[in-house]
């Protein structure tokens, strides 16, 4: 899926209808839209606002409150490197640099082909197994620079 993909508003409406057009299902609707586009396009948020009769600012507030949501395009795969103290002292900065080198993007960026986004977080809360990298929700414990190519290979299949 391309980063510059156009938003199919019929698909957005279908997702809303699948949730019964119920305002209380907003988070589920946002999750489903993000699963399709890998972020929450402005056009989709405006459509949700119109169809569910929820002020756009309230939808944006929900979307920006939860870290799982993104208002800018993200890659098909998201790699997150923990930079918490335990991971940091065990080499997380060098692991992040290796991901940047291998993916040819910097932290906070998405590759031009829309395949990868690279992020870092202050702490993932699993210090005993650090350094930790999460790719698409899969935790990779005791990560090292040598393990980065194999982690990426797993998701490039």
Q: Which of 23, 45, 65 is the last residue of a domain?
A: 65
In contact, 72 and 126? CB cutoff 8 Å: no
pLDDT in tens, 30-57: 999 998 988 999 999 999 999 999 999 9
Q: DSSP string covering 28-65, please? A: HHHHHHHHHHSS--HHHHHHHHHHHT--HHHHHHHHHH
- On the question of a cis peptide bond just before residue 131, with omega within 30 degrees of 0, the verdict is yes
Query: What is this structure's pTM?
Result: 0.75
- The pLDDT tens digits for 108-152 are 999 999 899 999 999 999 999 999 999 999 999 999 999 999 999
Domains contained in the chain, number: 2
| Residue 61 structural domain | 9-65
Of 129, 34, 41, the residue nearest 78 (C-alpha): 34
Does a structural domain hold residue 100? yes
Q: Which helix (H) or strand (E) holds 96?
A: helix 92-103
Do 84 and 149 lie in one domain? The reply is yes
């Amino acid at each position: 899926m391309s980063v510059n993909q156009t938003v199919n508003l019929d698909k957005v409406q279908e997702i809303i209808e699948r949730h019964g057009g119920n305002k209380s299902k907003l988070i589920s609707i946002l999750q489903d839209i993000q699963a399709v586009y890998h972020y929450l396009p402005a056009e989709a948020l405006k459509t949700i606002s119109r169809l569910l009769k929820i002020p756009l600012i309230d939808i944006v507030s929900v979307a920006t409150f939860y870290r799982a949501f993104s208002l800018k395009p993200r890659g098909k795969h998201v790699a997150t490197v923990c930079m918490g103290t335990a991971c940091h002292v065990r080499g997380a900065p060098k692991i992040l640099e290796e991901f940047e080198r291998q993916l040819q993007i910097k932290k906070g960026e998405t590759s031009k082909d829309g395949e990868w986004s690279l992020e870092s977080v202050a702490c993932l809360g699993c210090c005993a197994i650090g350094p930790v990298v999460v790719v698409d929700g899969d935790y990779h414990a005791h990560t090292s620079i040598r393990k980065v190519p194999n982690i990426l290979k797993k998701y490039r299949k």
